Amino acid sequence: MPENYYSLLFVMAGVTYLVRMLPLAVLKRRLENRFVRSLLLYIPYAVLGAMTFPAILYSTQYMAAAAAGLVVAVVLALLEKDLLVVALSACGAVVIAEAAIRYFGRMG
């Protein structure tokens, strides 16, 4: 363990607490600005998308198979299918695409 382990731990805890406590201390009243409220409403979705999208593309051995699963998932989600149907169909598309890539890769 590094000799400054506890000081690093306390600094990290302080920064984490400060980031969570500062908005509560600064914003005493409810936000009235519609733009700021809508911005804060969409931030979690944007962060989740930014973390999920690269994970989708690099989750398989072949990026083309991951893209096939992504396309299937997006199309089914736009058609408002259930989450389980979307997830299972996307997984199935990835399995089929990987099998096709491996099969046609051996032929060539």
Nearest C-alpha neighbor of 70 from the set 59, 79, 84: 59
**What span, in angstroms and rounded, lies between the C-alpha atoms of 98 and 108?**
15
pLDDT in tens, 34-71: 888 888 888 888 888 899 999 999 999 999 999 999 99
Structure confidence at residue 12 (pLDDT)? 94
Q: Is 96 exposed, middle or buried (0-12, 13-18, 19+ CB in 10 A)?
A: middle
54-79 in b/e form (b: 16+ CB < 10 A) is eebeeebeeeebbbbbbebbeebeee
Structure confidence at residue 108 (pLDDT)? 58
More confident call, 44 vs 1: 44
